[in-house]
Structure 1
Amino acid sequence: MALTKKQLIIIGSILTIVIIGLIVGITVGIAVGRQKSTPLTVEQQAYQILEKNPLIDGHNDLAWLIRANFQNNINNLDLYNMTQYPVKNDTPSHTDIPRLRQGQVGGQFWSIYTNCKHLGKDATISFLEQIDIMNRIIAKYSDVFQMATTAEEVRQAFSAKRIASLFGVEGGQAIESSFSILRLFYQLGVRYMTLTHNCNTPWADQNQVDRVNSTLIKNNGLTEFGKKIVIEMNRLGMLVDLSHASKQTMIDVLNITQSPVIFSHSSAFSLCNHTRNVQDDVLELVKKNQGIVMITFAPIFITCNLTNVGTVVDVAAHINHIRNIVGIDSIGLGGDYDGISETPNDLEDVSKYPKLIAYLLSQENWTHDDIIKLIGGNILRVMEKNEQIAKELQKTMKPQEGLIDRKELEVHNLTQCRNLDMYPTK
């Protein structure tokens, strides 16, 4: 049946309305699509990366700050607001729970440390007290912190929205030259040991022996007993930390270790020629070892200038220099918060990590994948490799036994507080 003219006009009008609607819809859709694809700011990108990937810092001295200022009394200490308490030099703590959350910290190696005055006296006791204080903090705030001893446990804690808490003994004086104590620390959850602090052990030299005109007694790097310590750490799966060590100690370790090493809080010697930093030829060995250098924020290791604390730009320069030598797979972050009295501008406390990430993202040579490796991917890889090698070594290698040579203790004046009953009678 033929349509009338009126019917044709009505149909044409309906089609026109439909077409106009489709055009408008497409236009709006395009507009909406464009709006959704608006590039995120680097700050927003940093937030998204940290939300999905754990930032694992290599070194925080909160436990030492609590020992030094509160004698390890935490029953009435509020970790939700550490800025309310007076601490030494009127410098407030860099760390508390709100700022850790603001900084999107996903994992933290808590430094287990007491100073070198305990060496040869009550070093082991004092380090055990520091493990106890961290255990108590984790238990007191169990909804915030979760103990982790493996890479997988770090990931589990992060998935549970808790801060993975790992222990690193800072200073080989803790074990008093004993394989037994080394193993016991591992059983207590310690997953790295810094071979020295700012004092020599009888079996390893610290960085200050490299200072011009140093008069310190030297071991000339790592002794034969020190090499056995490193071998036992490899067998256990405990990370060997070379921050604070002398250059020769670093080289000796890198020549014998079967597992990747770490520098938990060091920076680039070429940008700041402090003996605590890592020289380029050592960085080349770290690259070969597939270890990791976790860049610290301590101004004295960043600017080498006591009157210039530096900025996030200066810290990034150290990160970039070390990356250029060791590669993107061997860098990390080790802020050293609460172990330093001053911090760079824009990195004042643990809440400021996103500022550093945002700054790096603003640079052309930093991708999202690069950032993921820097903030935690690399240290997880190093942990997993140590775990894997330890399992293989334990199939054929027995635990290290024996005592350090008594003469080595005598050279360092460390026999007065020892019974020495296990040494043969002279």
Structure 2
Amino acid sequence: MSFFHDCWDSVRGNVRNCLTTPLTKKRLLIFGGIFVAFVLFIVILVVCLNGGSSSPAAQGSDALNNGPLTFGLVDNSWLKTTYINKINENLAKIEEKLNLKSYIESKLGAMIWSVGASNCAQASQKDAVSQTLEGIDAAKRLASSLGNLILASGTQDMTEAKANSKVAMLISLDGGYTIDSRLGVLRMFRDLGVRVMTLTGNCSTPWASSSSLTTFGKAVVGEA
């Protein structure tokens, strides 16, 4: 505090000198500069004091309140393996398994909901597209059945879900194998509500691996 005390003594001394000596243009400029510096000092001091009063926990809470925290990837393979996508018949059990209430209490705003085949290596050779379509259908039916879950197609939906204490669901393709190396299928999936796609995931494709993209692979990325 000695620094602030010295600054105050200096300001007070200069003001006293200005008031006890004839007021010239030079002294008027000095007095004006001192006044501006004093005002800036007070503003900075107030800002610093207000900022210091907020704990890291409070700052984190504010961040969660102002922006939708997104759960990067929800493992929902159990929905198919356990309930065979029978949403209506098992809604109570599915709702308990998801436990969306705890997500909302934790201020989670959105989740990435992955769809695809149960075995990508096998599906990529035959029915990857049809299995993915089933996953999209299940995700949409689930979102329409649960009152606190909203199928999101963009940031506006995510913001509205957050404002209404709900969780936004963004459908994601489990891997590039789901489009069967066809851009038309990728565009169709987008029309159905898909907003995210993992290029490789658990399986490489003829156009994408963990370290490279072919010309077609770059075209896939370009569709985004």
Normalising to structure 1: TM-score of the pair?
0.37
Partner residue, 1:46: 60
Partner residue, 1:195: 199
> Which string of whole-angstrom CA distances, capped at 9 and with x for unpartnered residues, describes residues 257-282 of structure 1?
xxxxxxxxxxxxxxxxxxxxxxxxxx
> Which string of whole-angstrom CA distances, capped at 9 and with x for unpartnered residues, describes residues 145-187 of structure 1?
1121122222122223221211111201111011110100010
Shift of 1:124: 0.4
* C-alpha distance in 1 between matches for 2:78 and 2:210: 23
* C-alpha distance in 2 between matches for 1:199 and 1:48: 39
Partner residue, 1:140: 145
Query: Contact 1:80–1:98 (CA<8 Å) still a contact in 2?
Result: no
Query: Contact 1:59–1:109 (CA<8 Å) still a contact in 2?
Result: yes
SS of aligned partner of 1:158: helix
Partner residue, 1:226: 217
Partner residue, 1:70: 83
SS of aligned partner of 1:59: strand
Normalising to structure 2: TM-score of the pair?
0.68
Residue type of the alignment partner of 2:96: N
Give unmatched runs, 5+ long, in structure 2. Answer: 1-50
Residue type of the alignment partner of 1:173: Y
Structure with a larger share of its residues in helix = 2
Q: 1:128 aligns with which of 112, 133, 140?
A: 133
Alignment of 1:16-31 (within 5 A): none
Partner residue, 2:173: 169
Shift of 1:204: 1.0
* C-alpha distance in 1 between matches for 2:148 and 2:204: 37
Q: 1:53 to 1:229 in 2, by over 3 A?
A: closer
SS of aligned partner of 2:91: coil
Residue type of the alignment partner of 2:182: S
> Which string of whole-angstrom CA distances, capped at 9 and with x for unpartnered residues, describes residues 297-348 of structure 1?
xxxxxxxxxxxxxxxxxxxxxxxxxxxxxxxxxxxxxxxxxxxxxxxxxxxx
Residue type of the alignment partner of 2:213: L
Q: What percentage of aligned pairs have identical amino acids? A: 32
Query: Contact 2:115–2:135 (CA<8 Å) still a contact in 1?
Result: yes
- What is the number of residues matched between the two proteins? 171
Q: CA RMSD in A?
A: 2.4
* C-alpha distance in 1 between matches for 2:176 and 2:157: 26
Query: Which structure has more RCO (C-alpha within 8 Å, separation ≥ 6)?
Result: 1
Q: 1:200 to 1:44 in 2, by over 3 A?
A: same
Give unmatched runs, 5+ long, in structure 1. Answer: 1-36, 83-94, 208-220, 235-426
1:109 pairs with 2:112: yes
Query: Contact 1:198–1:206 (CA<8 Å) still a contact in 2?
Result: no
Pick the structure with greater CA Rg: 2
Q: 2:100 aligns with which of 86, 97, 103?
A: 97
Partner residue, 2:5: none
